[in-house]
Chains A and B, each alone.
Chain A
Amino acid sequence: MLRQVWLVPALPLAGFVVCLFAGTRLGRYAGWLASALVVASFGIGLGVFSDLVSLPDASRHVVRHLYEWIAVGGFRVAVDLRVDPLSMTMALVVTGVGAIIHVYSIGYMDGDPRYGRFFAYMNLFVFFMLTLVLAENFLLLYVGWEGVGLCSYLLIGFWHERPAAASAAKKAFVVTRIGDTFMLVGIALIFLRLGSLDFTAVLRIPCGPGQHCPPAITTDTGVSTVIALLLFAGAIGKSAQVPLHVWLPDAMEGPTPVSALIHAATMVTAGVYLVARTHVLFEVSGVALTVVLVVGLVTALYAATVALAQDDFKRVLAWSTISQLGFMFTALGLRAYWAAIFLLVTHAFYKALLFLSAGSVMHALDGETDLKKMGGLRRTMPITAVVCSIGALALAGIPPFAGFFSKDDVLAVANQSGHALAWLIALVAAFFSALYMARLVFLAFFGEERTERYAHEAPPVMTVPLGLLAVGAAFGGFLGANETRGLLQTFLAPVLGKVREPTQGLSGPALALISVGVAALAIAVGWLVYGSGRIDWVALRVRLSSLHRFLARGWYVDDAYAAVLVSPAKAGSAFLAYVVDARLVDGLVNASGQLVRWLASVGRRVQTGFVRNYALAILLGALVLLVYVGLRI
């Protein structure tokens, strides 16, 4: 099956083409077709995976060459797919979670006039994401990178009649573009300084038998730092870290399955994948890793505080995603790449689960997302309430759910690598994470009903996927339960390095106890304020209104951008459009036209119609000729 790894991205691509051109004719079958293709892709991915593990450890990296893409002078780029533990992990997550979300969307998007188009875009997204994670060289990765950005734009703005959605899509695209541009410069620099764009060459990944491998690529700290930082800039944009995080909350305008797939499970994790993949370059330059760590920590804490003050169900989850991604980058910055990937996998499960349950609630309440207008939904939507709680507990880090193992790993690494401050900050962020999740669950599902609408449970086509994800969220942690010898860690070791035994800091169990304690405390506080009804949280909000507004508006970052960057840019554009273009350029063009007309109006007066004038002209000409001849002779 390894030889057919190209089918994994090809099937969703075929789905895209079919749904795009025959979507309206297929009707409801478009959804089933698209989902089936992603499921098939997942199946083939499993086959590839099993073939991969049948290989011995040292040779678990296969490059499947598809075709020569660019060969110009010394610049050679081929379409090659890399099959190794890291790429297969990502591919399985993408196709697995993607398949579940596709099936869910069949029910969620039912009745939408552009039903077929939606699934076309979803399949296209899966294709591009798979291209991204399976790419063997930077350029192909960049193709996937841009492609998922495109699909994100198309899907966020799927209901483009709504101005909010259209503008959110535009914002997402423009903000990620900033990061992408830096990344492209980084890729160009890689080619310029390191001579090649292939991972095998650049990343010193050991080559397979029979492949030609150039020597170790670089030990130059300066070049590595610059390249690493440029690539990380792209990751900041795509993974919504500070300061390019502003697009993700707005992206919630898109349909909920889109938020689940793209903005929780897969696209935003592309940045994490990128840094994990190129960690060699980051390690050569120490500065880059520190930058990653700082950005991750800042984002984790900042986003967690903002999530506390959000009233929109989906926005809580959006900021939560930003925060969780910050945790992943923290892990990367601490050289614990496997922990970041582990958190990525478990996060995919429980965040997708949370988003889909949000979708279930919205589906029941006719599109309502305001937490203030929910409450007591566990009585009318028991299944959703249960799975959502599972997801929330997983995120908070309560054992035995998945988040406990993965997030605990990150915190442990922070402590045991001697970065006490990082550990403390992460702990505070973890506290807030548990708190906002508790708030979410209690406000939405417990307490009195504050909604007038009649809520009902979602249809099976939506609840079954929810259940599957819940299983993953519940039990997925066991993949990497043992910090040093867990399944995932050993699987990823050939690519990401072996996990070192901790030498300093607190012991494992002690750390685990502390993290669980913090999470439990947060949940208790949440119960007290929001669930028990003993504290009037509405009045509390009014008392702390300026703080609340500060947090709710994301510490006014977005407003700052609008004032400093967006408004001057718009003013500049308006100036260029209305003054320079309309008056100057158009004026010049019109003036040339006027000039011609004026010349013509003057010139036509030669034609007087009188024969005698013409005779005069003839005589004049004859005279001139005479003079000319006379002078010559």
Chain B
Amino acid sequence: MAADWIVFWVCAPISIGSAIAMLLQRNAVHAALFLIVNLFTVAVLYLVLGAPFLFAVQIIVYAGAIMVLFLFVIMLLGVDREERLVERLRGQRTAAILLGLGVVGEVVFAIRAGVGFSTRAPAGFGAANGGGNPQALGRLLFRAYFLPFEVTSILLMVAAVAAMVLARRRERPVASAERRAQEPIEPSEPSEPSEPREEEPVG
């Protein structure tokens, strides 16, 4: 029994199962936790596929940073309230499931036509992974994919700035009115009773 066979058949069901579980959770925090499980299993699959660097990055960045961020926001906003089960839009669930099945069927069909279900992967990344996987990736990153690399770094910076701008608390007029409503009322001078305005004679 090859090692990858066992690992695959352990991790793949867990992966799919946790994904479905995430879908069915009413509580958002539970859903996030199931997603983390899914991310872990996918990372293991990366390892099986011979991408140890990505395995590490997936766990550190995806499961470690992104999902934590998610949990922060969920807890902060308190949106972990349970969702209602009743679907307001008619036919949405049916359509969604049908479409989903359609997509998966389509892809399976494509795989069968393209790759074929029996193709084995070649031996390894021996030729490509000269000096270890991170080194090879680094070589690719800083040579062939240098421009995307730099652009991505700018993208990250922009994202950070955008987040700061979007999440600012703005001074809202309602708030100032509320503030003014809480101030004590000053006694004001009684105003002159105004003359009843005379109507202009018509014509």
| Interface residues of A, Cβ cutoff 8 Å to B | 608, 610, 612-613, 616, 619-620, 622-623, 626-627, 630, 633
Contact = CB atoms under 8 A, between A and B. Distances in A.
A612 B103 contact: no
Interface in B87-124: 89, 92, 95-96, 99, 102-103, 106, 109-110, 113
B103 A616 contact: no
B89 A610 contact: yes
Given A623-B99, A633-B113, A612 B92 contact: yes
A629 to B, nearest CB: 9
A590 to B, nearest CB: 35
Contacts of B103: 619, 622-623, 626
Contacts, number: 28
A109 to B, nearest CB: 45
Given A616-B99, A633-B113, A623 B92 contact: no
Interface residues of B, number: 11
Given A623-B99, A633-B113, A616 B106 contact: no
A612 B89 contact: yes
B106 A619 contact: no
Contacts of B99: 616, 619-620, 623
B106 A630 contact: yes
B89 A613 contact: yes
Interface in B153-172: none
A626 B92 contact: no
Contacts of B89: 608, 610, 612-613
Contacts of B96: 616
B95 A626 contact: no
Interface in B140-186: none
23 contacts: A608-B89, A610-B89, A612-B89, A612-B92, A616-B92, A616-B95, A616-B96, A616-B99, A619-B103, A620-B95, A620-B99, A622-B103, A623-B99, A623-B102, A623-B103, A623-B106, A626-B103, A626-B110, A630-B106, A630-B109, A630-B110, A630-B113, A633-B113
Given A622-B103, A623-B99, A630-B106, 7 more contacts: A612-B89, A613-B92, A616-B92, A616-B99, A619-B99, A623-B102, A630-B109
A210 to B, nearest CB: 84
A521 B145 CA distance: 132
Contacts of A613: 89, 92
A316 B94 CA distance: 96
Contacts of A620: 95, 99
A285 B122 CA distance: 113
A299 to B, nearest CB: 69
Contacts of B95: 616, 620
By Cβ-Cβ distance, the 8 closest A-B pairs, closest first, are A626-B106, A619-B99, A623-B102, A616-B95, A630-B110, A610-B89, A623-B103, A623-B99
Contacts of A616: 92, 95-96, 99
A627 B106 contact: yes
A620 B113 CA distance: 22
Contacts of B92: 612-613, 616
Contacts of B102: 623
A486 to B, nearest CB: 82
A625 to B, nearest CB: 10
B184 to A, nearest CB: 45
Nearest to B88: A610
A630 B92 CA distance: 26
A258 B26 CA distance: 101
Contacts of A612: 89, 92
Contacts of B106: 623, 626-627, 630
A608 B89 CA distance: 10
A571 B77 CA distance: 81
B149 to A, nearest CB: 29
A608 B92 CA distance: 13
A401 to B, nearest CB: 73
Nearest to A627: B106
B20 to A, nearest CB: 18
Nearest to A616: B95
A623 B89 CA distance: 21
Nearest to A613: B89
A396 B131 CA distance: 141
Most buried by B among A623, A627, A633: A623
Contacts of B109: 630
A605 to B, nearest CB: 12
A613 B95 CA distance: 10
A117 to B, nearest CB: 41
Contacts of A608: 89
A620 B103 CA distance: 9
Contacts of A627: 106
A48 to B, nearest CB: 70
Contacts of A626: 103, 106, 110
Contacts of A630: 106, 109-110, 113
A517 B184 CA distance: 129
A627 B113 CA distance: 13
A612 to B, nearest CB: 6
B14 to A, nearest CB: 26
Nearest to A624: B102
Nearest to A633: B113
A608 B102 CA distance: 24
Nearest to B109: A630
A18 B169 CA distance: 83
Contacts of A623: 99, 102-103, 106
Nearest to B100: A619
B33 to A, nearest CB: 24
A373 B34 CA distance: 118
A619 B104 CA distance: 12
A616 B95 CA distance: 8
A610 B99 CA distance: 18
A619 B109 CA distance: 18
A104 B95 CA distance: 96
